[in-house]
Amino acid sequence: MSLDLNTILKDWPHEPGAIKVRKIVGLDGREKLQLRIDLGVLQMEIHGRPDGQRPHGAESLLTYHQLRAAHAEGRGDNYELSPEQCSELQQEGIQYYHRYLSLFQISDYAGVVRDTQRNLDLFDFVVSHTDREEVAWSLQQFRPYVLMMNTRAKASILLQQNKFADAIREIEHGRDGIVDFFQKSNFPELATKSSEIHFLEEWLEEVRAKRPLSKLEVMEREMETAIAKELYERAAELRDAIRRIKSQETHAH
């Protein structure tokens, strides 16, 4: 069998600016993800570490260090990561970045939530186990982007279920998390320039505009119209009906 990849690549050409992803079944019978890049194809496992490796017998390098840190802390010792170990963890994080980007393209939002949360845990772990600020920042600088992708995936799941109010709350929560991160960092002024915050705020407006009005909101708008047209009897009927619904909702909670 020829080792030349051109037979695979010519049937699936790269398109500049487009992220092309497909699922395939590997020779081992397991599903895999393929991401087309300009020089070829990246192939990833869908579960576990994307390259299929099990460093030190653990699911990932992060899991390995988390277990070691837990043992050290159980003995009352501090667990300190070396700059080299931080660099290895960052390289592993890039694998998960490629995978969640690919999963987002095929609308596997649960997979995106899993992998983005995993990288957020990675950032927290490194920050907790290194005293070197520049090492911690080399990872932390990506937190706004990962938070945005985590928020997009969580809100997309809710939108698929037509849970518009919950999706709006999720987007607001994600945006506020990014704002909070910048305010606590050494660069609070970056919040005003953040493309992640800007994207989530634009998306928020879009989702709010498309959200169907609840029965209560429809009645409230109708009441406002009735008052504007001086149909006070109708406005009074609507006001009483709105009070009844609000009272029922209060008792239900």
Is 206 a domain residue?
yes
> Domain limits at 219?
215-252
Distance CA 53, CA 59 (A): 8
Distance CA 239, CA 237 (A): 5
Phi and psi at 250, nearest 5°, equal -65, -45
Is 170 a domain residue?
yes
Residue 192 and residue 175 share a domain = yes
Is 244 a domain residue?
yes
Is 207 a domain residue?
yes
Distance CA 152, CA 171 (A): 7
Residue 191 and residue 171 share a domain = yes
Q: Model-level pTM?
A: 0.81
Is 198 a domain residue?
yes
pLDDT average, residue stretch 6-35: 91
pLDDT band at 19 (very low <50, low <70, confident <90, very high): confident
Residue 202 and residue 169 share a domain = yes
Residue 221 and residue 245 share a domain = yes
Residue 201 and residue 180 share a domain = yes
Q: Express each pLDDT in 216-252 by its tens digit.
A: 878 888 888 888 888 888 888 888 888 888 888 777 7
Is 240 a domain residue?
yes
Residue 204 and residue 221 share a domain = no
Is 74 a domain residue?
no
pLDDT for 219 equals 80
Q: Express each pLDDT in 164-213 by its tens digit.
A: 999 999 999 999 999 999 999 888 888 889 999 999 999 999 999 888 77
Q: Express each pLDDT in 32-76 by its tens digit.
A: 999 999 999 999 999 999 999 999 999 999 999 999 999 999 999
Q: How many domains does the chain have?
A: 2
Distance CA 142, CA 230 (A): 56
| Three-state secondary structure call for residue 59 | coil
Residue 247 and residue 207 share a domain = no
Strand intervals (E) in 140-234: none
Is 108 a domain residue?
no
Does the pLDDT at position 1 exceed 70? no
The helix (run of H) or strand (run of E) holding residue 201 is helix 195-210
Residue 229 and residue 206 share a domain = no
pLDDT for 253 equals 65
